Homo-oligomer: A and B are copies of this chain.
């Protein structure tokens, strides 16, 4: 595996699952692969789970790690080509990326959507420059449009908790005080579509995800109807794609609560975290035994390690 930026980069869902479970059963068994290898984690945005789980995964593999917060540690970085750099950005990605690549064997990078311009975000302006200019494999720690490490962990978590071969998985929009990227939702849909699960996406009108991610995935605008018979409820807020970056609703009728969970087939509750309690989900649901958000977060370490194992085996 030469990079990990979307589900298209993994050899197959089967290989991804097998590697994850292999790693989970033997976390410290592959350190020969990482010996004297270094991963640099570059953060353009805040991070808790991704920061810790990816570092931990690299250390499990016997790798060294270096973490760089672009905003606090380093220079402001320019991403536009051809500009006269007379402003606040002191360094261009065109130099920064190959230089970072020289000091390590794998780069992880987190660069969220900026919501200034849909074309910039959906072309993955920053992440794609990392892939282009680094001489080493690049792992997305969440780009502008996808969060594949999250989706991979979501997949493993569903596999571990499913009671039927082909569970009904519902991705539901939920209200939030801020405008959030579509990355987690896009990526979740993209990964689920590679499985034979039954996927339903539910959200208010106006919150349709980008067609290239949705494909023929089923949309159900009636949240309660969507929840009927569900085995997994995956809650997530996102801002509008069509009315790009806008908050069209903060309607608390979309909050995942106990009454709605009662409509499901004793569904497990999932969320990528961080989650706004009593906006996205009630305390009652997230604190219930059916909430598997912490298991899901723990699988972030496992799948990040599986990604690194597949990358290092390929080197």
Contact = CB atoms under 8 A, between A and B. Distances in A.
A274 B96 contact: yes
A183 to B, nearest CB: 15
- By secondary structure, the A interface counts as mixed
A283 B99 contact: no
Contacts of A286: 95
A294 B48 contact: no
Contacts of A73: 43, 46-48, 51, 69
Q: Which interface class (under 10, 10 to 19, 20 to 34, 35 or more) fits A?
A: 35 or more
A294 B94 CA distance: 10
A66 B56 contact: yes
A98 interface: yes
A257 to B, nearest CB: 13
A91 B279 contact: no
Contacts of A155: none
B48 A92 contact: no
A95 B59 contact: no
B74 A279 contact: no
Interface in A45-71: 46-49, 51-53, 55-56, 59-60, 64, 66, 68-69
Interface of A: 27-28, 36, 38, 40, 43, 46-49, 51-53, 55-56, 59-60, 64, 66, 68-69, 72-75, 78, 81-87, 90-92, 94-96, 98-100, 102-104, 177-178, 273-279, 283, 286-287, 293-294, 297-298, 301
Given A27-B36, A38-B56, 4 more contacts: A86-B279, A87-B177, A94-B287, A99-B297
